[in-house]
Amino acid sequence: MRLVAPFMRRRAADPNRLAGEGGEVAPPLFDEALLARLRRLVLLSRETLAEGLAGEHRSRRRGASPEFADFKSYSQGDDFRRIDWSTYARLDGLFVRLSEVTTEFDVHILLDASNSMDWRSRPDVPTKFTYARRAVGAMSYVALWHFDRVAIAPFGEALAPRFGPAQGRARVVPMLRYLENLTPLGPTNLPTALATYLSARRRPGILLIVSDLLSGEPNAISNSLRDLRQRGWQTIVVHVLDEAELAPELLNDGPKGRPRPAELVEVETGERLRLTPTDFVLDRYRTAVAQWLEDIERVCAAEQVDYLRLMTDWPFETLVLRLLHERGLVA
Amino acid sequence: MSGLELLVPLGLVALLGLPVVVLLHMRHTTPDPRPVPTLRFWQAAAQEQTERARFRRPPLSLLLLLQLLIVALLAFGLTRPAAARTWAGLGLRTEPRHVIVLLDGSTSMAALDTPTGSSRFETARAAALERVRDLREGDVATVVLLGTGVTTMESTNAGDLVALQRRLATLRAPGGRANLTSALALTRDLLLPHLDDQVVLITDGALTVDPAVVATLGAPVELVQVGGIPLDPEQPGAGNVAITELSARAAPGNPEQRDLFARVANFGDLAVVAPVVVKVDGIEFARQEETLPPGGTAKLSWTLPPDASAVTVVSETPDPLPADDQASLILRQESDLSLKILLVSDLPGPLQRALEVLPGAEVTTEPTDGTVVQPAGEAYDLVVYDNVSPPAAPPGSALLLVHPPAQGGPFPTRGAMTEAAAVRFGAHDPLLEGVDLAGVTFGETPVYVLDGTQSEVVGAEGGPLIFRAELNDRPTVVLGFDIAQTNLPQRVAFPILIANVAAQLVPSPLPPALPLGDPLVYRPSADAASVRVTSPDGNEVDLSLAVDPTEDAPIPADGAAPDQDRLRAVSFADTGQPGQYQVAELDAVGDELGGGRFVVNAGHPLESDLRPNPDLPAILATARGTSTPSVPTNLADLWPVLVAAALVLLALEWLMATIPRRRRSLLPRPALTGRS
């Protein structure tokens, strides 16, 4: 933990580092208590995607490690050096000792760094981007701590310079520093970024897509997810939302509860829309958002993708980690 | 509206702002922008919203009413509504004024018969200051200070007005006799036709004025009278007692002694017994009581001791004007200034001796070699040419010509007189004071032909023997006879005659006394570079030497600087205080060369009469304005009041518009507001 603490102190002591969120100094992404909890977690995979020998995950493969796993009858081609002669003496049959092999995961994280992520509804909650970076940091921390290979690729309309692939605990601090220094990249295009990223990866692994998913219609995302599934990737979609995106009635701050005309400005494109948020308009809004969420969940289920929705007002240390655990993403 | 007039009705055009304000309120307001992560759901939700209309029904709000009221007030103010005097307290004057304050600074204004016990002049000055302070930007103020001379001060802008007030606050009475007629004539020239001219005369009323000048003045005159409060309420008729005249002359039969003459006047309506004290050199010399009838005078005389140098006569009757209760006279200047004389003569003997015995005389003798001019860089008080003609451009000094040549001399001659004898004498001519010419023979003397500018002092049957003349504007005395051929040098009359000539040509530069307010014109000695005058209150004034303003010599045709040839003089006009003034001559490095003194007496036959001229108000009432101002001057502008009201409403409107917004900003941040 000594690796992390000085880093966190340096971040907190930097007065020029303004969060831009109400002018407050940005809190560190993680504190010591959270990191201690994260160190006890380990990533899980539904599928066998482990590779290599450096990790701590048990592999189905049997190798030559001193860790005994099982016996098997000798067959032609087996390494006769692994014949257990003691068993032969007792049972008068040739048996070969099988050892257990540990492997690591390839964890790929695509982080949505669009302007729409850099938004929050009120000062006392973090922006979606901050919340997403914490989630990415937590997953990456767990993976690195257990010697999994981690790559983090932020994207806007295109991929930005990524972190990793990195492996080992020594890469924890650079990973956290990398996340701290990330800034929004402007507009976003998830299908394009996803296609670009996959085109350079032949070996499948675990892919986390952390985004607000506002960059494309669910159908377009569906195609990308299908492609992932066909290539053998285990995909997890982490959907980050602000509560006000689901509860637009908070927009009504007019006198005596009357709706006040508002001019809405989209943060990514600057497009403006003037309206009066009447109950009718708000109902239609809720319907549209509900339909959108339903479509996303349907698409994820259809493509066998784990879908996890995170609200930025949820306490990260308790609720989110518990949710990850319940979904079987970590153990 | 009765008594209300719109000076600029065109200003009503500004009422067009009213519909503009209503129109602005009918427009849909632009709401505050709120950032959102995406518009995709809002666009779907707001498809049927109709926010296209640009105008709406005007909301009947207090803000709208306030803004309409503000515009109406400003528009009404632009019309420059002017109200009658009854409303004048609410606004400002419509037109700029030109106030001319005639401030009487004559001797009578030194009287202390005011309610506050201060002098009439101080009261008048305070009244003048009040008039000037009442002025505003755009007004013009002119203050004309009346004394022996007239001083004018003017302000045409705010800065000048402040400077004028400061100057007025420290102004001192110049004293002397105020000439109201000439001051009003000057005022007539100062009037500004495009302004509302107002003439205010602040005086004690002890003035006379020419009614014809008043009638043609061209502006009304407001008379502000000060003073006139009797010192003793039980004797309101008691007036001022003054020493109005004081003089001295040699006693008949004893030139060493002098007789002092004084006139004491009672300007009251009651008879008074005036104790009169004579002080010689500060020591009481005589005392007597003189009964003065109402409006009467008494002439008193005393014979002074031979060595008296100064004398003061004091009337000890308490009266409103203490300044004229005493008068002084300087009988003998204790001057140590030298008298520089240049004698141009081949036989200077008798003349040189007679000149050298003059008090303080420094005689320089030069031969008549035909090129005699005044040495460069050195000045003489008196230049004597004996048997020689002065140069074409004579030096800038007084001249004594002795037997100027008949041929080529400065004066035309007509033959000569042989054995001339004096038969005609100028009566009471100071040149002959103490001079006995009986038995004097003058020898052969040219017969000089005198013109109208020359005057004979002593004449023979054939022509003048001694006469006065001016040579190039220089005072000149001519002794027509030849010193070598007359027996006059053997007589005692000769040095007396020369002394009288020197005294006349180079008179004592300081007068024995001056009336209050009269300027002192002083010709210092040749070595002096400046003159320091110390007033009775100890105030010192250094006067650098300048050309005698009374001299009016023509500019030489060759363009040479005329100043070198003219007598130098200083003028000191600040003689508004009665008492003794010290005069000191200073050289170029500031060392004192010598000095003298003179006395300023306040007593005056007219100024000591403090009673106001009863005809003055009636005469001044005949002054009428001739110019017609562009607007009635009895109106007052109300636009400042309207603008002030509009500003108050504007502040109220601002508060109403901003307070709800501030209150909103204190509430929790509404939803859907981004960080950017």
Are residues B406 and B456 both part of a single domain? yes
Q: What is the pLDDT of residue B661?
A: 60
Q: Is B23 helix (H, G, I), strand (E, B) or coil?
A: helix
Q: In B, which residues are within 8 Å of A265 by CB distance?
A: 33-36
- The whole-number average pLDDT for the span B152-176 is 84
A118/B675 touch (CB, cutoff 8 Å), yes or no: yes
- The whole-number average pLDDT for the span B580-600 is 84
Q: What residue of B is the nearest CA neighbor of A249? A: B671
Are residues B454 and B575 both part of a single domain? no
- The whole-number average pLDDT for the span A59-63 is 54
Token pair belonging to A285: 């809004």
Are residues B467 and B519 both part of a single domain? no
Closest approach of A107 to chain B, Cα-based (Å): 29
Q: In A, which residues are within 8 Å of B670 by CB distance?
A: 250-251, 253
Bigger pLDDT: B615 vs A318 = B615
Bigger pLDDT: A84 vs B545 = A84
Q: What is the pLDDT of residue B550?
A: 45
Using an 8 Å CB-CB cutoff, list residues of chain B that contact chain A: 28-46, 49, 51, 664, 667-676
Q: What is the pLDDT of residues A241-279, one digit of tens each?
A: 888 888 776 555 555 556 677 778 888 888 888 777 777
- Indicate which CATH number applies to the domain containing B260: 2.60.40.10
Q: What is the pLDDT of residues B335-350, one digit of tens each?
A: 656 678 888 888 888 8
Q: B97 to each of B369, B631, B640, how far by Cα in Å?
A: 71, 12, 18
Closest approach of A272 to chain B, Cα-based (Å): 8
Superfamily assignment of A5-50+104-326 in CATH? von Willebrand factor, type A domain (3.40.50.410)
Domain residue ranges of chain A, discontinuous segments joined by +: 5-50+104-326, 61-102
- Indicate which CATH number applies to the domain containing B139: 3.40.50.410
Bigger pLDDT: B149 vs B170 = B170
Q: In B, which residues are within 8 Å of A264 by CB distance?
A: 33-36, 39, 42, 672
B676/A267 touch (CB, cutoff 8 Å), yes or no: yes
Closest partner residue to A262 among B31, B664, B674, by Cβ? B31
A265, A272, A278, A293, best to mutate vs chain B, most B CBs in 10 Å: A265
Q: What is the pLDDT of residue B622?
A: 87
User: Exposed e or buried b for every residue in A75-103, given b needs 16+ CB within 10 A?
Assistant: eeeeeeebebeeeeeeeeeebbbbebbbb
Alpha-carbon Rg for chain A, nearest whole angstrom, is 24
Confidence of residue B264 (pLDDT cuts 50, 70, 90): very high
Q: What is the pLDDT of residue B312?
A: 92
Q: Which helix (H) or strand (E) holds B211?
A: helix B211-215
A264, A265, A276, A287, best to mutate vs chain B, most B CBs in 10 Å: A264
In DSSP terms, B35 is beta-bridged to A265
Q: What is the pLDDT of residues A83-141, one digit of tens each?
A: 888 888 888 888 887 766 566 678 889 898 888 888 888 788 888 888 888 888 888 88
- pTM of the predicted model as reported, rounded to 2 decimal places: 0.47
Q: In this predicted structure, which of A5-9, A127-131, B98-102, B461-465 has the lowest mean pLDDT?
A: A5-9
Is cis: bond before A15, omega within 30 of 0?
Answer: no
* Residue pairs spanning A and B at CB distance below 8 A: 120
Confidence of residue B556 (pLDDT cuts 50, 70, 90): very low
Confidence of residue B202 (pLDDT cuts 50, 70, 90): very high
Are residues B353 and B476 both part of a single domain? yes
Q: In B, which residues are within 8 Å of A272 by CB distance?
A: 33
Closest partner residue to B35 among A119, A212, A250, by Cβ? A119
- Asked if residue B431 belongs to a domain, the reply is yes
Closest partner residue to A273 among B32, B37, B43, by Cβ? B43
The string of DSSP letters for B589-625 reads TS-EEEEEEEEEE---TTTT--S--TTHHHHHTT--B
Closest approach of A289 to chain B, Cα-based (Å): 7
Q: In this predicted structure, which of A315-319, B101-105, B426-430, B648-652 has the lowest mean pLDDT?
A: A315-319
Q: How many helices (H) and strands (E) does chain A have?
A: 10, 10
Q: In this predicted structure, which of A4-13, B155-164, B219-228 has the lowest mean pLDDT?
A: A4-13
- Asked if residue B405 belongs to a domain, the reply is yes
Are residues B536 and B462 both part of a single domain? no
Are residues B582 and B643 both part of a single domain? no
Are residues B371 and B407 both part of a single domain? yes
A273/B675 touch (CB, cutoff 8 Å), yes or no: no
Q: In A, which residues are within 8 Å of B44 by CB distance?
A: 284-285, 288
Bigger pLDDT: A14 vs A315 = A315
Q: In A, which residues are within 8 Å of B61 by CB distance?
A: none
| Pairwise CA distance, residues B631 & B629, whole Å | 5
Q: What is the pLDDT of residue A21?
A: 42
- Asked if residue B559 belongs to a domain, the reply is no
Bigger pLDDT: B85 vs A223 = A223
Q: What is the mean pLDDT of chain B?
A: 80
Are residues B117 and B213 both part of a single domain? yes
Confidence of residue B164 (pLDDT cuts 50, 70, 90): confident
Q: What is the pLDDT of residue B672?
A: 39
Q: In A, which residues are within 8 Å of B34 by CB distance?
A: 251, 262-265
- Asked if residue B82 belongs to a domain, the reply is yes
Q: B585 to each of B188, B338, B522, B535, B576, how far by Cα in Å?
A: 42, 11, 11, 15, 22
Given a cut of 60, whether residue A22 has pLDDT beyond it is: no
Closest approach of A311 to chain B, Cα-based (Å): 15
Are residues B299 and B202 both part of a single domain? no
Domain enclosing residue B530, as ranges: 514-547+567-601
Token pair belonging to B392: 């074409």
In DSSP terms, B625 is beta-bridged to B218
Bigger pLDDT: A207 vs B29 = A207
Instruction: Measure CA B628 to chain center.
Output: 33
Are residues B365 and B316 both part of a single domain? no
Q: What is the pLDDT of residue B436?
A: 86
B675/A264 touch (CB, cutoff 8 Å), yes or no: no
A289/B41 touch (CB, cutoff 8 Å), yes or no: yes
Q: Residues near B651 by Cβ (< 8 Å), separated by ≥ 6?
A: none
Q: What is the pLDDT of residue A1?
A: 29
| Pairwise CA distance, residues B169 & B125, whole Å | 7
Residue type, A48: T
Q: What is the pLDDT of residue B43?
A: 77
Q: What is the pLDDT of residue B29?
A: 67
- Asked if residue B552 belongs to a domain, the reply is no
Closest approach of B196 to chain A, Cα-based (Å): 59
Q: What is the pLDDT of residue B598?
A: 86
- Indicate which CATH number applies to the domain containing B424: 3.40.50.880
| Pairwise CA distance, residues A285 & B564, whole Å | 107
Bigger pLDDT: B252 vs B452 = B452
In DSSP terms, B568 is beta-bridged to B547
Q: What residue of A is the nearest CA neighbor of B43? A: A273
Q: Are strands B221-225 and B196-203 parallel, antiparallel or unpaired?
A: parallel
Question: What is the number of domains present in chain B?
Answer: 5
Express as a percent the part of chain B with pLDDT over 70. Answer: 82
- The whole-number average pLDDT for the span A202-222 is 82
Q: What is the pLDDT of residues B231-255, one digit of tens each?
A: 676 766 678 899 988 888 767 667 6
Q: In B, which residues are within 8 Å of A282 by CB distance?
A: 45
Q: What is the pLDDT of residue B564?
A: 38
Q: What residue of A is the nearest CA neighbor of B36? A: A266
B28, B29, B32, B36, best to mutate vs chain A, most A CBs in 10 Å: B36
Residue B71 dihedral angles phi and psi, to the nearest 5°: -65, -40
Q: What residue of B is the nearest CA neighbor of A274? A: B51
Given a cut of 80, whether residue B49 has pLDDT beyond it is: no
B33/A265 touch (CB, cutoff 8 Å), yes or no: yes
A264/B667 touch (CB, cutoff 8 Å), yes or no: no
Given a cut of 60, whether residue B375 has pLDDT beyond it is: no
A253/B670 touch (CB, cutoff 8 Å), yes or no: yes
Closest partner residue to B36 among A118, A123, A265, by Cβ? A265
Q: What is the pLDDT of residue B331?
A: 79
| Pairwise CA distance, residues B514 & B517, whole Å | 8
Are residues B432 and B469 both part of a single domain? yes
Bigger pLDDT: B535 vs A219 = B535
Are residues B109 and B223 both part of a single domain? yes
Q: Residues near B466 by Cβ (< 8 Å), separated by ≥ 6?
A: B431, B456, B457, B458, B477, B478, B479, B480
C-beta of residue A215 within 8 angstroms of C-beta of residue A190 = yes
B49/A276 touch (CB, cutoff 8 Å), yes or no: yes
Q: A168 to each of A55, A152, A179, A330, how far by Cα in Å?
A: 9, 15, 17, 18
Q: What is the pLDDT of residue A190?
A: 83
Q: What is the pLDDT of residue B474?
A: 79
Given a cut of 90, whether residue B466 has pLDDT beyond it is: yes
Q: What is the pLDDT of residue B123?
A: 92
